[in-house]
C-alpha cells in the first residue's frame, strides 16, 4: 500500500478539522512513517498537495488543533517560521515566561490522546466535544455570574 493510501486510513474527517488518529508524538502532534522516515502528517500532506512552496516554511495550524491535517485557510497553511512563532505568541500558545494562554490540563499529548480515543469509532460530535472540553481548566468552576439572575429587591432594574 502506498503512503497516501496508508495516510488516509489514519484520518477522521469532521465538519471542521480532519483529525490524524495514527501515532502521536509526546508534543501532541502526529507521526507518520514514509520511506523509513518519521514525518509530521500535516506537513507531509501540505507538501504532497503543493501547498508548501518554500521548504523552509512551517506548516501552521490556524485551527490550533495539533492533530488537524485539513489543508487550507482556517486549518493547515504554509508560512514563514517567524510568522508561525508570532502567531503562536499572539494566541497565547507559546511556552516559557510569556505564556498567557489557558492550556489543557492534560497537556498537548494528553489532549491529543483523548481526541484520538474519542474518534476511534469514527466521527461522533458528542464524544469529540466531550474529549475536547474535558481538559478545560475551568470546567468544574461555577460561573461567577448567572445571566438569568433576578434584580435585587429595592433596585429599579
**Complete domains list, the chain, with CATH:** 3-103 (3.90.75)
**Residue 97: pLDDT over 70:** no
pLDDT confidence of 99, banded at 50, 70, 90?
very low
Mean pLDDT of all residues in 17-32: 96
**Residue 152: pLDDT over 50:** no
pTM beyond cutoff 0.85 = no
Show Cβ contacts of residue 45 under 8 Å, excluding neighbours closer than 6 positions: 7, 69, 71, 76
Of 8-12, 67-71, 126-130, 137-141, where does mean pLDDT reach its minimum?
137-141
Amino acid at each position: 500500500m502506498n503512503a497516501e493510501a496508508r495516510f488516509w486510513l489514519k484520518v477522521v474527517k469532521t465538519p471542521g478539522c480532519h483529525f490524524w488518529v495514527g501515532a502521536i508524538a509526546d508534543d501532541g502532534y502526529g507521526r507518520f512513517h514514509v520511506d523509513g522516515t518519521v514525518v509530521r502528517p500535516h506537513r507531509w500532506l501540505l507538501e504532497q498537495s503543493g501547498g508548501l512552496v518554500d521548504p523552509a516554511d512551517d506548516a501552521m495550524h490556524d485551527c490550533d488543533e495539533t492533530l488537524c491535517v485539513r489543508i487550507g485557510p482556517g486549518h493547515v497553511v504554509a508560512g514563514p517560521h517567524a510568522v508561525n512563532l508570532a502567531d503562536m505568541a499572539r494566541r497565547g500558545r507559546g511556552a516559557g515566561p510569556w505564556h498567557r494562554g489557558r492550556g489543557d490540563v492534560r497537556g498537548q499529548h494528553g489532549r491529543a490522546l483523548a481526541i484520538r480515543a474519542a474518534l476511534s469509532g469514527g466521527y461522533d460530535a458528542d464524544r469529540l466535544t466531550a474529549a475536547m472540553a474535558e481538559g478545560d481548566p475551568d470546567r468544574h468552576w461555577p460561573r461567577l455570574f448567572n445571566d438569568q439572575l433576578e434584580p435585587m429587591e429595592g433596585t429599579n432594574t
